[in-house]
Structure 1
């Protein structure tokens, strides 16, 4: 199965929590229908990306990266690569690369949220498919060259350092963690 086909399958089965998420899901599906290259950075009309919020539910904290280009505290994530077999695999790869942690586990149930946001040229727009991942006890992070900083934040600290999209992702990820217990 191609990554494009996987994305369509994932989005069709995405259980949107509310009307805005339903509209985003439908917009992502329309984008993929109109753009066969809609998974790749080269798509000038925008493209899907995959990200993952690294969460440590036992300690009540999340790992955020200070993005080198955007200079914002964000979840791990980025562009899909030709070797990615699925959106979930792309999100997990990005989380591993940017956190340096190899013992990450995707939360069950598929994506946690969708987030569409403008970005600087030449890309213009990311249609982000967001997952949650948990860390094993004792996991040690290591900053990548894509970051200016990498830091754990308690749940309560996130709203003070990150934008509302990260706060919403944290809320949805925490709810998913609670649902899986």
Structure 2
């Protein structure tokens, strides 16, 4: 996994325009400075996660999945593994695992979006924070393959996404990328 220094540099280079996203950046920076295992699931108060915002080449639709455990529509993403060389690599791995899309390429290699959200307690896991670092990926092949973590998986237009979720961080990514039909 990337060092604290390189992750902090990546965060410093990202300048969000949205006030909520700016708060998230400051929270994540502080967390990374204080936690040596900032990415590890074993850091029970919270940990960084890596998500993938995937659009088609024309920015007319994005991939969302209906998350089985959270019972909501979200972008692909998840926990960072010790074997992931970087955050962007973790994002790509999660995208492939959750969508089956292997032919992804990054729109750019910088952070695309940030979010901090609470994950409810479950079984042996206490409630904790996911400090989500998001990267923008573009897919040429639109063939999706659902996995066991999801109830549904689909390419959706901006209008279709708004029908499925009112989650502000997802809608913010829609506003940043998708063209209205």
**Structure 2 CA distance for aligned equivalents of residues 147 and 111 of structure 1:** 25
**Structure 2 CA distance for aligned equivalents of residues 92 and 30 of structure 1:** 25
- Segments of 5+ residues of structure 1 without an aligned counterpart are 176-181
Shift of 1:116: 0.6
Residue 41 of structure 2 is matched in structure 1 by 41
Residue 131 of structure 2 is matched in structure 1 by 127
Q: Is the 8 A contact 2:115 2:131 kept in 1?
A: yes
Over the aligned positions, Cα root-mean-square deviation in angstroms equals 1.8
| SS of structure 1 residue aligned to 2:49 | strand
| SS of structure 2 residue aligned to 1:48 | strand
TM-score under structure 1 normalisation? 0.88
**Structure 1 CA distance for aligned equivalents of residues 84 and 169 of structure 2:** 25
What is the number of residues matched between the two proteins? 174
Shift of 1:44: 1.4
TM-score under structure 2 normalisation? 0.88
**Structure 2 CA distance for aligned equivalents of residues 78 and 49 of structure 1:** 5
Residue 7 of structure 1 is matched in structure 2 by 7
State yes or no: 1:171 paired with 2:175. yes
- Segments of 5+ residues of structure 2 without an aligned counterpart are none
**Structure 2 CA distance for aligned equivalents of residues 27 and 105 of structure 1:** 29
Q: Is the 8 A contact 1:159 1:167 kept in 2?
A: yes
